[in-house]
């Protein structure tokens, strides 16, 4: 499958990375200026991790109108709707013309999408902010999945998925459970699932047995989780 990745920062890059890891050909268009990822602390390492194996091409997103049917099978982006409009690009019409599956990840209100904003909307009331870019990687995961699902069913056209909704979709029960009690899973009795009493790890009470696991560190994960030179294998 030939994938075109358009956009900046983490979410769309993560989606493209997942698709590349699953054996697809991914081309990433670069606008010519630094991507925000490259400006982060240690951003060069993050940039390399996200884009390994992709074909990197200097090309502005608006030149997508110059493509022909058959150049790509899938397009993924996290460009704001108003930006496409300013460039006089209609993703829906163009997806039909190019006969591609095109999936856009956008903020739930068509604003600027950020991981921290998505976290605040999806689970901030009971989990607070988690110091990882889960709002971006969760959105990127669903972006890749949606593109694969549509392509597998032979669907051409444009679909929009929303960042906070993508993140909230990872929560069990979604909107079925109205109230939550802090960080305690709503389906378990307090004290039977989660952080251990001494705070050193987690414990699960299951059929009369207490199963404990200490909190692991990066070295343990490198030694025990399946990976190739630091890249986790799925």
2-168: CATH topology:
Rossmann fold (3.40.50)
Secondary structure of residue 57 in the 3-state scheme:
strand
- Using CA atoms, how far apart are residues 98 and 120, in angstroms rounded to an integer? 37
In this predicted structure, what is the pLDDT of residue 175? 77
- Using CA atoms, how far apart are residues 100 and 98, in angstroms rounded to an integer? 5
- CATH 3.40.50.10540 region(s) of the chain? 2-168
In this predicted structure, what is the pLDDT of residue 126? 80
CB atoms within 10 A of CB 26: 26
177-181 long-range contacts (CB < 8 A, ≥24 apart) are 180/125, 180/126, 181/126
In this predicted structure, what is the pLDDT of residue 32? 80
In this predicted structure, what is the pLDDT of residue 182? 63
CB atoms within 10 A of CB 100: 28
- How does pLDDT run along the chain (234 residues), one tens digit per residue? 999 999 999 999 999 999 999 999 999 999 887 899 999 999 999 999 999 999 999 999 999 999 999 999 999 999 999 999 999 999 999 999 999 999 999 999 999 999 999 999 998 888 889 999 999 999 999 999 999 999 999 999 999 999 999 999 998 777 776 666 665 677 788 888 888 888 899 999 999 999 999 999 999 999 999 999 899 998
- Using CA atoms, how far apart are residues 184 and 193, in angstroms rounded to an integer? 8
DSSP 180-203: -BTTB-TTS-TTSEEE-TTSSEEE
**Beta-strand pair 101-106/227-228:** unpaired
In this predicted structure, what is the pLDDT of residue 17? 98
In this predicted structure, what is the pLDDT of residue 15? 98
Give the torsion sign (CA, 32, 35, 41, 44).
negative
pTM value is 0.92
**Beta-strand pair 55-58/157-162:** unpaired
């Amino acid at each position: 499958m030939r994938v075109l990745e358009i956009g900046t920062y983490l979410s769309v890059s993560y989606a493209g990375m997942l698709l590349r890891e699953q054996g697809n050909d991914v081309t990433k268009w670069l606008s010519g200026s630094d991507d925000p990822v490259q400006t982060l602390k240690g951003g060069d390492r993050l940039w390399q991790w996200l884009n390994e194996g992709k074909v990197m091409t200097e090309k502005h997103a608006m030149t997508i109108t110059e493509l022909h049917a058959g150049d790509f099978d899938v397009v993924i982006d996290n460009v704001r709707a108003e930006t496409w409009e300013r460039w006089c690009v209609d993703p829906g019409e163009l997806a039909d013309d190019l006969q591609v599956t095109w999936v856009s990840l956008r903020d739930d209100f068509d604003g600027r999408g950020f991981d921290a904003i998505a976290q605040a909307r999806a689970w901030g009331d009971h989990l607070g902010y988690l110091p990882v870019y889960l709002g971006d990687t969760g959105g990127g995961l669903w972006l890749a999945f949606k593109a694969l699902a549509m392509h597998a069913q032979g669907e051409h056209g444009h679909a929009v998925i929303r960042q906070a909704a993508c993140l909230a979709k990872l929560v069990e029960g979604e909107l079925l459970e109205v109230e939550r009690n802090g960080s305690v899973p709503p389906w378990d009795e307090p004290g039977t699932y989660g952080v251990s009493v001494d705070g050193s790890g987690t414990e699960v009470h299951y059929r009369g047995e207490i199963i404990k696991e200490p909190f692991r560190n990066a070295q343990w994960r490198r030694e025990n989780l399946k990976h190739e030179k630091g890249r986790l294998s799925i």
